[in-house]
């Protein structure tokens, strides 16, 4: 239990290292482009590592690291590469969001992500109203009906993960707040003894459990799914 | 009558700009009321909400939702359920994904048809950045009056086609719609939304302020003239526009006021409009003899010689024969 839990490592970093951001129906041209980007990224990382011996550069690198936050794309988003090539940064998804949970990147994720929407579930989680998909003109966010079936089939924002070291229910106190916050019910999260949460395969990653977790820091969090 | 078109244009520019501020404000306020409950508001807040509801209720189905009829910005939005997008958004998205998404491309059709008929009217009449750039030009003139140096360099106008091509190529390489980040109307619409609804300016503001400084310090109205990628698209589309400004040589007196007010540094006095003219009608408004008028023709008239009321024409002793070249 003392080992660093795997889910705490940055998912972006993990996926970059394996090079498996998305797979399947991507043309070879896009593949080449991604290899080029990885080469550029690798080069940048090498240069940054070399520079990090310099005190000022180390400070800058730490600043960069703090900005590499975990983020969710709005529901119905395409795989990250397709999403970036589709999204025209018009800002309409946030305009229709009744929950004000959609925010926009500045330069934190680089120029290619500038102006694209994201959600920080701990601040304000998605309530799955599915209005952003209707508002999106380019189909970067797929239009999805607000029905249980459609949402379960099409929304894959991420997957919740419970830290049993932090979760109150695993410490002998009955809590169960995350299970009650879940809009999808037992296909996504089941509770057992002392209302200990067990995330199921049907979790869509809306983040309402993370938003409602009473622990600080939150014991349940969404591992984003960018593919 | 046409000399009042410029006033109408300013009204249009201000209206678009005001919309970009007011709509997010209304939307935020409606969400605020919906989330707090009308009954829990103080009497004054209730009165305020009632006033807002009176004005917005014709345009919305559900007061808990924001306005339904007008959404988005000039970059991409919906107007009475009709989705409309900037042609540059469509082109940039195709370049980035290399895979045309037809339902989106169709939304750019209306602006494209209007541009083919009216030319760069978007640049002159709608673009929210144009308003700020024209006000910025006035600032540059004031700075000049108090003796501060302002830039008035001239570059090649074809530079903006290079910017467009470069933006599209970089979009294709990076797989991300980068033109959205260097196109002032998109930036202004987005940033106005960020500042009214999301509580702060975004990164695009820095770029926009740099373009304003470029206009003051390097070239008057330089970004629109030489660099704007959207302006390049509109120029290409509007090359054979149906509505264009024409000089009537008989009533022209060669005063050159039109050349002085032209924000795009064109030469109306010598019949030079080309694909750059954005039909802003500032030259029509300033013409003392009403020699400039809108007309329907798909080509400009070649240079007609000096105006017949002008000093140069009278000096040469010519009859009032049109088509004479001095």
List CB contacts (< 8 A) between A139 and chain B. Answer: 101, 103-104
Q: Is B66 in contact with A96 (Cβ distance < 8 A)?
A: yes
**Whether residue B265 sits in one domain with residue B195:** no
**Whether residue A56 sits in one domain with residue A44:** yes
Nearest CA in chain B to A40: B174
**Whether residue A128 sits in one domain with residue A211:** yes
Looking at the complex, report in whole angstroms how far the Cα of residue A181 sits from the nearest Cα belonging to chain B: 18
**Whether residue A87 sits in one domain with residue A40:** no
Domain total in chain B = 2
Residue from the list B75, B176, B186 with its beta carbon closest to the beta carbon of A85: B176
Chain B contact for A25 (CB, 8 A cutoff): no
Picking from B186, B215, B238, the residue at the C-terminal end of a domain is B238
Query: Which of B97, B98, B193 to probe by mutation at the A interface, max A CB count within 10 Å?
Result: B97
**Whether residue B226 sits in one domain with residue B251:** no
Q: Are B231 and B127 in contact (CB under 8 A)?
A: no
**Whether residue A192 sits in one domain with residue A81:** yes
Residue from the list A30, A92, A107 with its beta carbon closest to the beta carbon of B71: A92
**Whether residue B168 sits in one domain with residue B253:** no
Is residue B110 in a domain? yes
**Whether residue A156 sits in one domain with residue A89:** yes
Looking at the complex, report in whole angstroms how far the Cα of residue A107 sits from the nearest Cα belonging to chain B: 7
Q: What is the pTM of this model?
A: 0.80
Longest dimension (CA), chain B: 83
Quick: pLDDT tens for B62-112.
655 555 678 889 999 888 878 999 999 999 999 999 988 999 999 999 999
Is residue B181 in a domain? yes
Is residue B34 in a domain? no
**Whether residue A183 sits in one domain with residue A123:** yes
Q: Is A115 in contact with B178 (Cβ distance < 8 A)?
A: no
Is residue A164 in a domain? yes
Is residue B230 in a domain? yes
**Whether residue A177 sits in one domain with residue A111:** yes
**Whether residue A141 sits in one domain with residue A56:** no
Is residue A15 in a domain? no
Is residue B61 in a domain? no
**Whether residue B120 sits in one domain with residue B258:** no
**Whether residue B262 sits in one domain with residue B175:** no
Q: Is A111 in contact with B76 (Cβ distance < 8 A)?
A: no
**Whether residue B226 sits in one domain with residue B304:** no
List CB contacts (< 8 A) between B72 and chain A. Answer: 90-92, 95, 135, 137
**Whether residue B119 sits in one domain with residue B9:** yes
Question: What's the confidence (pLDDT) of residue B323?
Answer: 53
Could you tell me which residues come within 8 angstroms of residue A189 by beta carbon, excluding any fewer than 6 positions away? A160, A178, A179, A182, A197, A198, A199, A200, A203, A209
Quick: pLDDT tens for B2-17.
889 999 999 999 999 9
Query: Which of B175, B201, B230 to probe by mutation at the A interface, max A CB count within 10 Å?
Result: B175
Q: Is B204 in contact with A91 (Cβ distance < 8 A)?
A: no
Picking from B193, B209, B238, the residue at the C-terminal end of a domain is B238
Looking at the complex, report in whole angstroms how far the Cα of residue B159 sits from the nearest Cα belonging to chain A: 23
**Whether residue A199 sits in one domain with residue A109:** yes
Picking from B190, B223, B238, the residue at the C-terminal end of a domain is B238
**Whether residue A34 sits in one domain with residue A50:** yes
Is residue A97 in a domain? yes
What's the 3-state SS for chain A?
A: CCCCCHHHCCHHHHHHHHCCCCCCCCCHHHHHHHHHHHHHHHHHHHHHHHHCCCHHHHHHHHHHHHHCCCCECCCCECCHHHHHHHCCCCCHHHHHCCCCCEEECCCCCCHHHCCCEEECCCCCCCCCCCHHHHHCCCCCECCCCCCHHHHHHHCCCEEEEECCCCCHHHHCCCCCHHHHHCCCHHHCEEECHHHCEEECCCCCCCCHHHHHCCCCCCCEEEEECCC
Question: What's the confidence (pLDDT) of residue A32?
Answer: 61
Q: Is B76 in contact with A137 (Cβ distance < 8 A)?
A: yes
Q: Is B97 in contact with A86 (Cβ distance < 8 A)?
A: yes
Is residue A86 in a domain? yes
- CATH at B279: 3.30.70.20
**Whether residue B253 sits in one domain with residue B224:** no
List CB contacts (< 8 A) between B77 and chain A. Answer: 90, 92
**Whether residue A198 sits in one domain with residue A112:** yes
**Whether residue B206 sits in one domain with residue B126:** yes
Q: Is B202 in contact with A106 (Cβ distance < 8 A)?
A: yes
Picking from A10, A40, A68, the residue at the C-terminal end of a domain is A68
Chain A contact for B98 (CB, 8 A cutoff): yes
What ipTM is given for this predicted complex? 0.83
As a whole number, the mean pLDDT across chain B is 87
**Whether residue B234 sits in one domain with residue B285:** no
Quick: pLDDT tens for B103-117.
999 999 999 999 999
List CB contacts (< 8 A) between B180 and chain A. Answer: 88-89, 115
Is residue A3 in a domain? no
Task: Give the pLDDT of chain A (227 residues) as one tens digit per residue.
Answer: 344 455 554 444 444 444 444 444 444 555 566 666 677 777 777 676 666 556 666 566 555 544 456 899 999 999 888 999 999 999 889 888 888 899 999 888 888 888 999 999 999 999 999 989 988 999 999 999 999 999 999 999 999 999 999 999 999 999 999 999 999 989 999 999 999 999 999 999 999 999 999 998 899 999 888 76
**Whether residue A49 sits in one domain with residue A82:** no
Residue from the list B24, B175, B194 with its beta carbon closest to the beta carbon of A84: B175
**Cβ-defined contacts of B62-65 (< 8 Å, 24+):** B63/B30, B63/B33, B63/B34, B64/A98, B64/B30, B64/B34, B65/A98, B65/B30, B65/B34
Is residue B23 in a domain? no
- pLDDT, mean of residues B117-123: 92
| Interchain CB contacts (distance < 8 Å): A and B | 125
**Whether residue B212 sits in one domain with residue B186:** yes
Checking if the pLDDT of B126 tops 90, the result is: yes
pLDDT bucket at B319, cuts 50 / 70 / 90: low
Quick: pLDDT tens for B233-288.
999 999 899 999 999 989 998 888 999 999 888 899 988 888 889 898 999 999 99
Domain total in chain A = 2
Chain A contact for B85 (CB, 8 A cutoff): yes
Domain span at residue B12?
A: 1-16+73-238
Domain span at residue A53?
A: 23-68
Is residue A73 in a domain? yes
List CB contacts (< 8 A) between B206 and chain A. Answer: none
Looking at the complex, report in whole angstroms how far the Cα of residue A194 sits from the nearest Cα belonging to chain B: 33
Query: Which of B35, B67, B176 to probe by mutation at the A interface, max A CB count within 10 Å?
Result: B176
Is residue B68 in a domain? no
Picking from A68, A101, A131, the residue at the C-terminal end of a domain is A68
Is residue A1 in a domain? no
Question: What's the confidence (pLDDT) of residue B143?
Answer: 93
Is residue A4 in a domain? no
Could you tell me which residues come within 8 angstroms of residue B112 by beta carbon, excluding any fewer than 6 positions away? B87, B237
**Whether residue B105 sits in one domain with residue B251:** no
Picking from A36, A52, A68, the residue at the C-terminal end of a domain is A68
């Amino acid at each position: 239990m003392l080992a660093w839990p795997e889910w705490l490592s940055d998912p972006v970093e993990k996926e970059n290292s394996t090079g498996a951001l998305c797979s399947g129906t991507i043309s070879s041209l896009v593949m080449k482009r991604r290899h080029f980007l990885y080469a550029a990224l690798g080069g940048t990382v090498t240069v940054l590592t070399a520079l990090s011996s310099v005190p000022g550069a180390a400070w800058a690198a730490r600043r960069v690291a703090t900005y590499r936050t975990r983020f969710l794309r709005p529901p119905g988003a395409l795989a990250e590469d397709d999403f970036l090539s589709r999204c025209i940064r018009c800002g309409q998804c946030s305009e229709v969001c009744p929950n004000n949970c959609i925010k926009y990147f500045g330069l934190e994720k680089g120029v290619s992500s500038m102006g694209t929407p994201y959600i920080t579930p701990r601040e304000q989680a998605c309530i799955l109203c599915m209005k952003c998909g209707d508002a999106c003109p380019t189909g970067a966010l797929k239009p999805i009906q607000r029905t249980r079936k459609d949402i379960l089939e099409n929304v894959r924002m991420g997957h919740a993960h419970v830290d049993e070291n932090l979760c109150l229910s695993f410490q002998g106190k009955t809590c169960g707040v995350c299970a009650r916050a879940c809009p999808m019910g037992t296909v996504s999260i089941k509770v057992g003894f002392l209302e200990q949460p067990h995330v199921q395969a049907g979790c869509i990653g809306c983040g309402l459990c993370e938003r409602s977790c009473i622990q600080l820091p939150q014991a349940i969090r969404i591992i984003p799914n960018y593919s | 009558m046409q000399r009042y078109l410029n006033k109408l244009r300013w009204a249009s520019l201000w209206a678009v700009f005001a919309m970009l501020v007011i709509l997010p404000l209304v939307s935020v306020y409606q969400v605020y009321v919906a989330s707090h409950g009308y009954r829990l508001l103080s009497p004054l807040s209730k009165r305020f909400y009632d006033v807002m509801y009176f004005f917005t209720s014709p345009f919305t189905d559900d007061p808990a939702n924001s306005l339904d009829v007008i959404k988005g910005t000039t970059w991409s939005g919906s107007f009475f359920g009709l989705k409309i997008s900037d042609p540059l958004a469509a082109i940039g998205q195709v370049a980035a994904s290399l895979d045309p998404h037809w339902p989106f491309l169709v939304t750019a059709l209306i602006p494209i048809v209007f541009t083919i008929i009216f030319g760069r009217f978007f640049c002159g009449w709608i673009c929210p950045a144009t308003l700020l750039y024209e006000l910025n030009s006035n600032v540059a003139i004031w700075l000049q009056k108090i003796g501060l140096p302002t830039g008035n360099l001239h570059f090649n106008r074809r530079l903006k086609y290079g910017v467009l091509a470069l933006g599209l190529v970089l979009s294709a390489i990076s797989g991300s719609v980068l033109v959205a980040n260097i196109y002032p109307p998109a930036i202004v619409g987005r940033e106005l939304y960020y500042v009214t609804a999301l509580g702060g300016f975004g990164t695009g503001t820095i770029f926009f302020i740099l373009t304003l400084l470029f206009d003051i310090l390097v070239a008057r109205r330089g970004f629109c003239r030489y660099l704007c990628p959207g302006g390049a698209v509109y120029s290409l589309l509007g090359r054979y526009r149906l509505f264009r400004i024409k000089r009537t040589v008989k009533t022209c007196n060669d005063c050159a006021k039109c050349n002085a007010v032209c924000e795009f540094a064109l030469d109306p006095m010598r019949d030079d409009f080309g694909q750059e003219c954005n039909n802003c009608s500032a030259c029509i408004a300033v013409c003392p003899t009403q020699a400039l008028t809108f007309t329907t023709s798909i080509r400009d008239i070649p240079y007609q010689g000096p105006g017949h009321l002008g000093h140069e024409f009278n000096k040469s002793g010519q009859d009032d024969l049109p088509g004479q070249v001095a």
